[in-house]
Amino acid sequence: MSEATQQNLRRPAPVVILVRPQLAENIGMCARAMANFGLSEMRLVAPRDGWPQKSALKKGAFSAAAGATHILTAAKHYDTLDAALFDLHHVYATTARFREQAKPVQAPAIALPEAASRVASGQKVGLMFGPERTGLESDEVMAASSIITFPVNPDYASLNLAQAVLLTGYEWMRAAQGDVLPFTMPEPSPPAAQGMVGQFFGFLEQELDRVRFFHPEGKKPVMMRNLRNIIHRMAPTEQDIRTLWGMIDLLAKGGKKPGSKKPGSKNPLAEGEAPAVTDA
């Protein structure tokens, strides 16, 4: 992870408010989803089984959190929604159902970039999620400034609580720092420059001429063009070209002699050598 990513993850982020959550295990899974995407402040409004909970229940939450226990440990408990929202400047209510309320309804990919600008300008932003079975009640949605809903297949619209937190967190992280991936394609070898690829084509053409691959001769231009397109499309690295060169060379020479370590031919692009651009 880059220094910049680390710093972004320490910056202010929206607060997640779970309203009347029912199952400790789901609270734990929400904590895990938050941790996946750089959210850390959880508020619990009147959780059905209380909080802190009896040790057996709490254990369920902590085990479902899969390592994100710091979020559960720091979670604050509120008796009322008003108390939980008191210091927030803008609250988004998530809901899967249509509400007869004159509030903007936004997709997460629209709402979270907006939330990120609010956070960047110093506002405290809340993301509010209702209980597992029923979702937020209308009075609870009323306390929010905007509604987030998900672009789901309306025939199967029900997301579970942790999944709603997950999608919201995903768009938060994308909005706050873009699609920064934890890893990218390894680049063991630099991409082959045109000159190197051209040398390879020269060698390939010479060997294919030798075995009379281009038959009838009139088809040669089309066939060479096709071969060149195949090679260019694979965006070869220098190592790829050396591998192909060695392969063609060995096929052309009929194989290594027993005991020999190198193919019989000299490969001008042998590993470690800088390819010289010649007009061979």
Q: Rounded to the nearest 5 degrees, what angle is found at the Cα of 78, between the Cα atoms of 124 and 160?
A: 80
**Contact between 217 and its own copies per CB under 8 A:** no
Query: Cis (ω within 30 of 0) for the bond into 52?
Result: yes
Please provide the distance, in angstroms rounded to a whole number, between the alpha carbons at the two ends of the chain: 46
Residue type, 10: R
Binding pattern to its own copies, positions 90-109, x when CB under 8 A?
------xxxxxxxxxx-x-x
Helix intervals (H) in the chain: 3-10, 24-36, 55-64, 69-74, 81-85, 108-120, 138-142, 161-177, 194-210, 220-233, 238-253
> Which residue stretch of 66-74, 218-226, 245-253, 272-280 sits at the interface with its own copies (rule: CB under 8 A)?
66-74
The number of helices, as runs of H, and strands, as runs of E, in the chain is 11, 7
Q: Does the protein bind its own copies through residue 156 (CB under 8 A)? A: yes
Selected range binding its own copies among 61-69, 223-231, 254-262, 267-275, rule: CB under 8 A: 61-69
- Contact characters 242-271, its own copies, x per CB under 8 A: ------------------------------
Counting Cα atoms < 13 Å in the Cβ hemisphere of 33 gives 22
- List 18, 42, 88, 167, residue binding its own copies (CB under 8 A): 167
Local structure of 270: helix, strand or coil: coil
Q: By the 8 A CB rule, do 89 and 125 touch?
A: yes
Tokens of 184: 């990218």
Give the one residue of 179, 216, 217, 233 binding its own copies; rule: CB under 8 A.
Answer: 179
Taking CB under 8 A as the rule, does residue 166 contact its own copies? yes
1 binds its own copies, rule: CB under 8 A: yes
CA distance 64 to 52: 16
Q: Assess 42 for contact with its own copies (CB under 8 A).
A: no
Give the residue, chosen from 139, 183, 233, 258, that forms a contact with its own copies under the rule CB under 8 A: 183
Residue from 90, 174, 220, 228 in contact with its own copies (CB under 8 A): 174
Number of residues that bind its own copies (CB under 8 A): 56
Please tell me whether residue 202 binds its own copies under the rule CB under 8 A. Answer: no
Binding site for its own copies (CB under 8 A): 1, 5, 9, 32-33, 35-38, 66-68, 96-105, 107, 109-110, 147, 149-159, 162-163, 166-167, 170, 173-174, 177-186, 188, 237
